Amino acid sequence: MTTIERHPMIPIAPPVLIEDFYTPEEIDTIFSVIRAKGPWRLILAHHFSSTEEYLAISGGKDRKPDAKLSDFVAPVFRGFLANDGVVFHPELHDIYFGRKLLDTARSLHGAKYGMAHDLLFNLCGPSHSFDAGHFDTGRFRGMGLFNTPIWLLAIMTKSGLFDEWEVKTAQVLTYFARSDVDGGFTYWPQGPDKAPERLTAPFWNTTFLTDNSRMYHRREANGRRDQRDYPELDITSELHAVDGGEWSIRNGDKEIRRFGEDDLRMLVHYTALLFDDVADVRRFQDHTDDLDPDKVFGMLIDDMRSKGATVEVPGDAMNDTAFIAQLTDFYAMAPREYPAEAPLDVR
């Protein structure tokens, strides 16, 4: 078998823009569910249980003693609407399982078959973005977020060694943001060491079809610049829908911010797993050609050694911090350039 050398962080295709993706009825359904089924937690709160726990590993060593959570974290709230074939809100069944999302996702790779994976939303008011660019977590036969830490999945993608076990994905990202003050989407379609491109707001029912597990990208800061700080933001802050179509961010009963549709920025995010043909589906479903951590670590160590690195084989690779640091270093890559109109927001 011959394989074509490809930079691991160049997508199958640059984002494809689709205007007016959802029908008015679908938009109504999506907004109704989000308004009715809250309150919703910060993205961060899905991963950390306290502000202290988060700040202990983030924010840098020379963090000021009076640092606030919102110095490091954008006030973006997230809800999972469906995942892995299970719809959490039955109103969304037909959207999640519908042909429109799946056929759109399949078209990016020309894949014959596919299955709906996640459907979630991110919602915020005016806000900073401290995202320096990231790629969505990859999925491999036998290994994915369900059994493997994010750091290892990221190294697997960056190394390019595991492409033949990769389960292809495509994302259908649909944006709702009326404000044209910043708020775009930066992406690096030629790889992280090349110049980025961007799609600029406003958006309303504007879809980007993307290969985000193979492309660095980020949400830009958005909305009125004098409204982007949330000094009272806490890991327990929640987003509530309130009368008049407005949104309220609250710490318990205390409102710390209210905003309306003009200041809303919302992303509806769908991912599908994709398969070239029936054999590809069977390999995935029958687990006849799965990766496991021993094989992955063996291949990574062989690769580093073949390129001149001295590698000591760790006893417990998954938890050996020196080994993890060596992998992270060896396969390091990150965006270098940012659009002049959307510079990196750093504290």
Nearest Cα to Cα of residue 257 among 277, 239, 284, 279: 239
How many other C-beta atoms lie within 10 A of the C-beta of residue 299?
15
Closer by beta carbon to Fe ion, 68 or else 269:
269
Closer by beta carbon to Fe ion, 17 or else 309:
17
Q: What is the maximum alpha-carbon separation in the chain? A: 63
Least separation in angstroms between CB 163 and Fe ion: 20
Least separation in angstroms between CB 310 and Fe ion: 35
Specify whether the CB–CB gap between 291 and 141 falls below 8 A: yes
Structure tokens at 25: 């009825």
Closer by beta carbon to Fe ion, 136 or else 263:
136
Closer by beta carbon to Fe ion, 136 or else 211:
136
Closer by beta carbon to Fe ion, 29 or else 137:
137
Closer by beta carbon to Fe ion, 77 or else 297:
77
Taking CB under 5 A as the criterion, which residues in 24-63 touch Fe ion?
none
Q: What gap in Å lies between CA 336 and CA 186, rounded to an integer?
A: 13
- Using DSSP's 3-state secondary structure scheme, residue 262 falls into helix
Does the protein bind Fe ion through residue 220 (CB under 5 A)? no
Least separation in angstroms between CB 136 and Fe ion: 5
How far is residue 154 from each of residues 32, 67, 264, 347, measured CA to CA in Å?
35, 29, 31, 25
125 phi, psi to nearest 5 deg: -95, -160
Q: Name the residue with tokens 């292809």.
A: 168
Q: Where are the alpha helices (DSSP H) in the chain?
A: 24-36, 51-57, 93-96, 99-109, 150-159, 278-286, 293-306, 321-330
Closer by beta carbon to Fe ion, 71 or else 136:
136
Q: Concatenate the DSSP letters of all residues of 57-73 into one string.
A: HSS-TT--TT--GGGT-
Least separation in angstroms between CB 217 and Fe ion: 6
Specify whether the CB–CB gap between 201 and 179 falls below 8 A: yes
The stretch among 135-143, 189-197, 237-245, 331-339 that binds Fe ion (CB under 5 A) is 135-143
Task: Tell me the residue number closest to Fe ion, measured at CB.
Answer: 136
Least separation in angstroms between CB 199 and Fe ion: 14
Least separation in angstroms between CB 160 and Fe ion: 20
Closer by beta carbon to Fe ion, 139 or else 257:
139
DSSP code of residue 249: E
Residue among 136, 211, 220, 263 that touches Fe ion (CB under 5 A): 136
Least separation in angstroms between CB 44 and Fe ion: 15
250 phi, psi to nearest 5 deg: -130, 145
Which residues make Cβ contacts (< 8 Å) with residue 91, sequence separation at least 6? 29, 32, 33
Closer by beta carbon to Fe ion, 297 or else 338:
338
Instruction: Give the per-residue contact string, 312-341, with Fe ion (x = CB under 5 A; - = no).
Output: ------------------------------
Least separation in angstroms between CB 302 and Fe ion: 30
The stretch among 87-95, 133-141, 221-229, 273-281 that binds Fe ion (CB under 5 A) is 133-141
304: enclosing H helix or E strand: helix 293-306
Structure tokens at 210: 């993307």
The stretch among 136-144, 223-231, 253-261, 307-315 that binds Fe ion (CB under 5 A) is 136-144
The stretch among 111-119, 129-137, 150-158, 325-333 that binds Fe ion (CB under 5 A) is 129-137
DSSP code of residue 181: S
Contacts with Fe ion by CB under 5 A lie at 136
